[in-house]
Structure 1
Amino acid sequence: MNRREAVQRVALMMGGVLAAPLMAGVMGQVTNTGTSVAVTAEQEALLAEVADIIIPTTDTPGAKAAGVEKFIVRVMRDCYKKEDQDKFYAGLAKLDADSQTKFGKGFIALDTAQKNEMVKLSTTEDKPFFLRMKELTVTGYFTSEIGATKALAYLPIPGKFEGCIPLKPKQKAWAL
């Protein structure tokens, strides 16, 4: 399976097609040539924590282990307009502020149950942020080496080469 197939499968699993900027980011393209939001280390750590609630470590490594926060930062910087970046990072700041209001501490300092509660709350109170965060997390995870090799079935070489085999009746020949 190549990266493009993995992205298509992830898109199907998410129930639709990936946004154009996200698809450009997966393919390593830069579509935003304008200004970008400067992301702090604290924001990146917060992204890692939120992503790890969306895809936690179970019998396979989670989003934090896969470095999804770096993917999110790169794709937001390289492929989304500054206005979209501002909205996304404002949503991230709102999640942290809401955690501070509700529990008296920032999102990173919360225990897992409280983090789950805050993320669940953001699915209704700040749905656009949550949907974008989920889309970026899932795509970043399943296109990472950890996601592709540990969470998905991975076959680096898809079968052995047999140069001359008989075809069954009405079987199509393999594409090159």
Structure 2
Amino acid sequence: MNKEKNLLVIGSGAAEITRFTRRMIVQALLAGAGAAWPLVANSHPIYGLLSGKAALDEVEKLGAANSKPAFLSSSQNETLTAIAESVVPGSTKAQVSRFIDVLLSVDKPESQHKFLESLTALDAEAQKRFGRRFPALDEEQKDALLSDVSTKAESPKTLETDAGKKQPSLYGHFENLKGWVSGAYYSSEVGMRELGWTGDYVFEKFPGCLHPEGYH
């Protein structure tokens, strides 16, 4: 772990706090590491949402309202939960799919559309290869699919159609979903504590990935 700094955002009583709100975690993230985010590009939609007070205010309201998906359908939420757990093990415990769903409900239509396209693309690929939706695949099948779409770094993020239009490739769709999942996971208390955070300091530089079995 790198050099520690005093966490001014939470205050001197932080060491006595046993639970941290999502807002506290986000403030801690933005207070250190030059406002960088673990494994998430600054250009990704989730970075802008988590950096904005208005979005977090709305997320807290919706998150406290009920446990039903605010934006996704039950089927879409099931797919997201399965993909998230495969990309970053522990995502289910960190309620990653729930947080992403609430964020999407206050996001721009363009980002919502791109997210659903990516989710549908990976589910369709699972159907094409194995005849079942992604949540119904066994672990070996999930690993095989995600390994293919995530390790082909030479694959372009976009492909040009016959009509001359560009659309995301499977690799591009995976990268989009990975950004959402990683951002949601590492802005949770579970994710930050996994990196070694205890609440009384921020990272000057984030540690590397601690999930060798994941795809982020």
1:89 aligned to which of 104, 116, 121: 116
1:3 aligned to which of 5, 10, 26: 26
Partner of 2:93: 65
CA–CA distance in 2 between the matches of 1:98 and 1:20? Answer: 23
Verify the 8 A CA contact 2:127 2:134 in the aligned structure 1. yes
The residue type equivalent to 2:85 in the other structure is D
Verify the 8 A CA contact 2:38 2:182 in the aligned structure 1. no
Runs of 5+ consecutive residues of structure 1 not aligned to the other structure = 32-36, 57-61, 159-176
Compute the displacement of 1:142 (Å). 1.0
Which stretch has the larger CA shift, 82-91 or 3-12? Answer: 3-12
Cα RMSD, aligned residues only: 2.7
Partner of 1:131: 175
Verify the 8 A CA contact 1:100 1:106 in the aligned structure 2. yes
CA–CA distance in 2 between the matches of 1:144 and 1:97? Answer: 29
Which stretch has the larger CA shift, 20-29 or 107-116? Answer: 20-29
Q: 1:11 to 1:130 in 2, by over 3 A?
A: farther
Compute the displacement of 1:21 (Å). 3.6
Higher relative contact order (CA 8 A, sep 6+): 2
Partner of 1:101: 128
Question: Which segments of structure 1 move beyond 4 Å, counting only runs of 4 or more?
Answer: 7-10
Question: How do 1:1-176 residues align onto structure 2 when only pairs under 5 Å count?
Answer: 1=7, 3-6=26-29, 9=33, 11=36, 13-14=38-39, 17-19=41-43, 21-27=45-51, 28-30=53-55, 38-56=71-89, 62-79=90-107, 81-123=108-150, 124=155, 125-149=169-193, 151-158=194-201
SS at match of 1:75: helix
Bigger radius of gyration, 1 or 2?
1
CA–CA distance in 2 between the matches of 1:77 and 1:120? Answer: 30
Verify the 8 A CA contact 1:52 1:63 in the aligned structure 2. yes
CA–CA distance in 2 between the matches of 1:111 and 1:51? Answer: 15
TM-score by length of 1: 0.69
Q: 1:11 to 1:112 in 2, by over 3 A?
A: farther
CA–CA distance in 2 between the matches of 1:137 and 1:93? Answer: 16
Runs of 5+ consecutive residues of structure 2 not aligned to the other structure = 1-6, 8-24, 57-69, 156-168, 202-216
Q: 1:20 to 1:105 in 2, by over 3 A?
A: closer
Compute the displacement of 1:139 (Å). 1.1
Length, aligned pairs only: 145
Richer in strand (by share): 2
Verify the 8 A CA contact 1:24 1:30 in the aligned structure 2. no
Compute the displacement of 1:119 (Å). 1.9
The residue type equivalent to 2:27 in the other structure is R
CA–CA distance in 2 between the matches of 1:22 and 1:105? Answer: 29
Q: 1:137 to 1:122 in 2, by over 3 A?
A: same
TM-score by length of 2: 0.58
